[in-house]
A and B are shown apart, each in its own frame.
Chain A
């Protein structure tokens, strides 16, 4: 199983690799590709990246650990990121976080038992004109209120 996955990945990786001057520059794009495909980056896939690039897996791991957007364990179907920096804070980000903690019955940084939702606070998402901002997977939701949040969550629960 793992072998066939890795063979598939290697094919995609060759396409990514062609775009860059040095193999090293393909590290972030490859890790992003893996995360998009599997939701997280497993140890095995770190090794696949290392093999394709001819670098050690320790080096790949070192780069991986620097960046906040990479998950190294299985992530939830819906990753909820609440911006908690100043502009969102002024518009009630803390209330949104409390609402979500109660609604999902988890604490910030945790994942629901069914693996459906994970809740994290993040730094400025660069959308302060629509504060408070919540990012779910790749989508931004702006001017959030508890009511709007409830609607989105119950919609996602049905998925």
Chain B
């Protein structure tokens, strides 16, 4: 079950050099794409592969590409979202630092498919090493003729620039990212219009996650049927899971979609110190918590949705039996409160109210009715905000109360029985 697609060569030393990348089969997909396929045919191929966005939303990539207007008086842009900041997530960094040319080749092919001549990689500011690696890989690709003017004699210009963020979680939201790229405070835009029509510089813009784009060369190399044959019927291909928390071997694990959580936990060598599983976030801190009752759940878009959670970014955070769920939720609420951009009131005020209630609970000053208050504030935030950050803040709150209400009551009654997180 260790079929790797994206991270296949990421551990190879010097894979970030173009020579090694090409020795391992790199830059074969781009010439094929340019010579054997029309742009539309690539979109159809990606659609047929069933590839869905790996950033969190899981929207079918081929369908999304199809929304880019065929003719436009304005230039079209491709933007790679490398603002990896969802707590628990560290997969894009593995791709960027391990196999940057795979991303670059994927971006060149994707630019061709949607008709973009200029692409940006928006990378979080803290990834200084990743940004340097990307810049030198782009320069190598340009020198070799895979980027720049008249790519491989095709007559097409395709180029990529690296744009560094400066420390704002919200810029991972695609319209906030665009505002940041335009040199503004990174605040989400009202949708519609969607970025595919009015995006960067008010031009049609395709925004895709690093992992999504890194799958593209493999689909060209091996075909849509091959890709669709991996994983489950509605969640095709592999997923890079980031496992952190109370496991023996935290790290990135790429497996076909649909692997059971139990298997995944086994890959990470089980729970640390021989303890029992208590709960886990299946896809990052913005996805509802699941418990030991979900040990056999299949890790794919549809199974996790059915269980009331989400695949998200594939960031699995594991908590053992001794962990305090109230403290975990309180910590995340503080995170969302601090990262709220403040543009819309349900998120700005709501996350602050949640944080205040959690603070008094953690200070042993919780009141009767505080649990219902947390639920009521969450209810009023959910679905009423500009962007998903507000919704995300309610996820750890509502799900931890759903499964661990007793722990909240214990806290309010002044007796938490759990060791420090």
Interface residues in chain A, defined as those with a beta carbon under 8 Å from any beta carbon in chain B: 19, 21-29, 31-32, 62-63, 66-70, 84-87, 89-90, 94, 122-131, 135, 138-140
A22-B251 in contact (CB<8A):
no
Q: Does B93 contact A (CB under 8 A)?
A: yes
Q: Return chain A residues, CB-CB under 8 Å to B394.
A: none
Q: Does B41 contact A (CB under 8 A)?
A: no
Interface residues in chain B, defined as those with a beta carbon under 8 Å from any beta carbon in chain A: 84-90, 92-93, 124-129, 161, 163-169, 180-186, 201, 242-246, 250-252, 285, 315, 317, 319, 323, 328, 331-332, 335, 338-339, 341, 420-421
A21-B250 in contact (CB<8A):
no
| Given A24-B182, A63-B183, A66-B168, A123-B85 contact (CB < 8 Å) | yes
Q: How far is the CB of A96 from chain B (nearest CB, A)?
A: 14
B164-A66 in contact (CB<8A):
no
Q: Return chain A residues, CB-CB under 8 Å to B250.
A: 87, 128-131
B85-A124 in contact (CB<8A):
yes
Q: Return chain B residues, CB-CB under 8 Å to A69.
A: 125-126, 166-167
For the complex, give the distance between the alpha carbons of A85 and B250 in Å.
Answer: 16
CB-CB nearest in chain B for A25: B183
Report which of A28, A87, A124 forms a contact with B166, defined as CB distance below 8 A.
A28
CB-CB nearest in chain B for A27: B183
B87-A87 in contact (CB<8A):
yes
Q: Return chain B residues, CB-CB under 8 Å to A94.
A: 420
Q: Return chain A residues, CB-CB under 8 Å to B332.
A: 85-86
B84-A126 in contact (CB<8A):
yes
| Given A32-B164, A90-B319, A123-B335, A129-B184 contact (CB < 8 Å) | no
CB-CB nearest in chain B for A131: B244
Q: How far is the CB of B189 from chain A (nearest CB, A)?
A: 15
For the complex, give the distance between the alpha carbons of A21 and B145 in Å.
Answer: 24
For the complex, give the distance between the alpha carbons of A125 and B92 in Å.
Answer: 12
Q: Return chain A residues, CB-CB under 8 Å to B328.
A: 86
CB-CB nearest in chain A for B169: A123
A129-B338 in contact (CB<8A):
no
A24-B87 in contact (CB<8A):
no
For the complex, give the distance between the alpha carbons of A126 and B252 in Å.
Answer: 12
Given contacts A21-B201, A69-B126, A131-B250, 8 further A-B contacts (CB under 8 A): A22-B201, A66-B168, A67-B166, A86-B87, A124-B86, A124-B335, A128-B90, A139-B129
CB-CB nearest in chain A for B93: A126
B89-A129 in contact (CB<8A):
no
B244-A128 in contact (CB<8A):
yes
Q: How far is the CB of B87 from chain A (nearest CB, A)?
A: 4
B87-A85 in contact (CB<8A):
yes
CB-CB nearest in chain A for B82: A126
Q: Return chain A residues, CB-CB under 8 Å to B182.
A: 22, 24-25
For the complex, give the distance between the alpha carbons of A90 and B328 in Å.
Answer: 9
Report which of B125, B169, B245 forms a contact with A87, defined as CB distance below 8 A.
B245
Q: How far is the CB of B123 from chain A (nearest CB, A)?
A: 10
B183-A86 in contact (CB<8A):
no
Q: Return chain B residues, CB-CB under 8 Å to A124.
A: 85-89, 169, 335
Q: Return chain B residues, CB-CB under 8 Å to A125.
A: 126
For the complex, give the distance between the alpha carbons of A75 and B169 in Å.
Answer: 23
CB-CB nearest in chain B for A138: B128
Q: How far is the CB of A45 from chain B (nearest CB, A)?
A: 15
B244-A129 in contact (CB<8A):
yes
A128-B315 in contact (CB<8A):
yes
